[in-house]
């Protein structure tokens, strides 16, 4: 499948769609998932075009994994979850629904208790407050 430059995450990177931004540097953007599986669910995306892990250049992957670690540490500090899941999907058969490489950083408060992803939008005021707390933890 050819990379779609109008996918939602590419549009967020370009500033065409709003997002509750947590980290925004030269290579990576991290923002709150608007349909989170848990409070604090954050997405990390590269600023370059890449559909999935298999077609993204190694230097972009390096920046992404380092940023993902920073986000996971901030999520841990801010939300104090019992655990953290970092996940990433490649192609539709594996569950990928947005075809721009992204990592999910999902706090787990109790084993097995996550909301269904992609079903319900979170309250935007709550997401903005969570993003502000994470930004503060990163600074």
Which sequence positions are flagged as catalytic? 102
| Helix 124-138 and helix 58-79, axial crossing angle in degrees, nearest 10 | 100
Quick check: 45 and 29 in contact, CB under 8 A? Answer: yes
Provide the total of helices (H) and of strands (E) in the chain, helices listed first.
3, 5
């Amino acid at each position: 499948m050819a990379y779609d430059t109008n996918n939602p995450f590419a549009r967020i990177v370009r500033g065409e769609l709003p997002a509750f931004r947590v980290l925004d540097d030269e290579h990576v953007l991290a923002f709150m998932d608007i349909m989170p599986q848990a409070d604090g669910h954050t997405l990390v995306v590269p600023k370059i075009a890449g559909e999935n892990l298999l077609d993204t250049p190694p230097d972009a992957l390096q920046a992404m994994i380092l940023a993902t670690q920073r986000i996971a540490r901030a999520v841990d500090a801010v939300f104090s979850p019992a655990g953290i899941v970092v996940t990433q999907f490649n192609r539709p058969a594996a569950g990928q629904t947005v075809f721009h490489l992204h990592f999910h950083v999902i706090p787990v408060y109790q084993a097995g208790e996550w909301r269904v992803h992609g079903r319900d939008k979170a309250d935007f005021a709550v997401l903005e407050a969570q993003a502000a707390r994470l930004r503060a933890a990163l600074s």
